[in-house]
Amino acid sequence: MTTPELHPAERVEHVGGAELHYWVYREHLTETSNLVTAAGPAVTQVGSVVPIDPVEPADTVLMVHGLRGTHHGLELVAAGLPDQRVVIPDLPGFGDSGPMSGRRHDVAGYAQVITELIALLGGRTRPIALLGHSFGSIVAARVAATSPELVRRLVLINPIATPALRGPRVVLSGLTSAYYTLGKRLPLWAGHSLLSNRWVVLAASRAMTRTKDKQLRGFIDANHLRYFSRFHSPALLSETFEASVTHTVADHTDALRMPTLLIAGESDEIAPLEGQRALAARLPDAELVVIPNVGHLVHYETPGQASEAIRRFLGAP
């Protein structure tokens, strides 16, 4: 299995004190070495492509990846939305994006960056559809709750609906927190080595994977090994992890009035299905889609089913 050749255009903006890299999929493309747009200069490599004639912002889906992810993880879902312009940033401090200055790398800090990016994309004129996976679901929910005028529809994949530090996952969450804290306290090189350990990354990958397809399991493992350790520093990663286990989408349910699609994995142990059902019941205009025989990696294991649900949801009146 391979990632589809989508030929996205890479752009960069200085947002929230960070050099934010993001990728735009499905714009009218032309070969060129550089282009300055209303949103700023495009960042390209020789022979790459950059967009012209932008699609209207109402046709845009902005996707927010989860903890330790990059834009690559959501490309399979983007591939299943052929009628949408898709924008996927690397969150500050992950992938190609630099860390923020003057802001914490927490839910509020990331939400402010995404809000500013939506504004740069024209969302104040024509609101966008906003999608978040896992930790990205918490960030997306905060953006939609604090700036509802920018978000016409909200899609949450494997949303974090129940606190990690309470309930059946409290022991595992506590051990993981200690692991990240140790990585932060070690010398920089040692912390990076600990948190990027190949066997730890593979163990985490296998723990989240439910498929019996060896080729797909290999694809997921390879992607985690390639991208899971592209974080700026152990201290930044620890700060973001703590935010991920102390906040949930449920923090913002009272302010989420727009149509919302929840896509849950039937056997998701990080975001248990019971919490997804409770979350859907609290939202005034929500639909819950449960995908069987999948856990926390809907975007890798069943991206086609997720994309189909999203297409239908975005096309609904």
Helix (H) or strand (E) holding 30: strand 28-31
Q: What is the pLDDT of residues 157-182, one digit of tens each?
A: 999 998 765 555 655 666 777 888 88
Q: Which residues contact 265 (CB under 8 A, 6 or more apart)?
A: 158, 210, 271, 273, 290, 291, 294, 295, 296, 297, 298, 301
Backbone angles phi, psi at 295, to 5 degrees: -110, -120
Q: Which CATH number describes the domain made up of 9-164+248-315?
A: 3.40.50.1820
**Alpha-carbon distances of 199 from 205, 206, 209, rounded to whole Å:** 10, 10, 15
Q: Which residues contact 189 (CB under 8 A, 6 or more apart)?
A: none
Can you tell me the distance from the alpha carbon of 279 to that of 166, in angstroms, rounded to the nearest whole number?
16
pTM of the model: 0.87
Give yes or no for a contact between 140 and 146, defined as CB atoms under 8 angstroms apart: no
pLDDT surpasses 90 at 26? no
Q: What is the pLDDT of residues 292-312, one digit of tens each?
A: 999 999 999 999 999 999 999
The average pLDDT across 91-95 equals 97
The average pLDDT across 100-122 equals 95
* Domain spans of the chain, in order of start: 9-164+248-315, 167-241
Q: What is the pLDDT of residues 59-69, one digit of tens each?
A: 799 999 999 99
37 pLDDT band (50/70/90 cuts)? very low
Backbone angles phi, psi at 13, to 5 degrees: -135, 155
Residue 288 tokens read as: 């819950």
Note the pLDDT of residue 156. 98
Q: What is the pLDDT of residues 181-231, one digit of tens each?
A: 888 888 999 989 999 999 989 988 988 999 999 999 999 999 999 999 999
Note the pLDDT of residue 6. 74
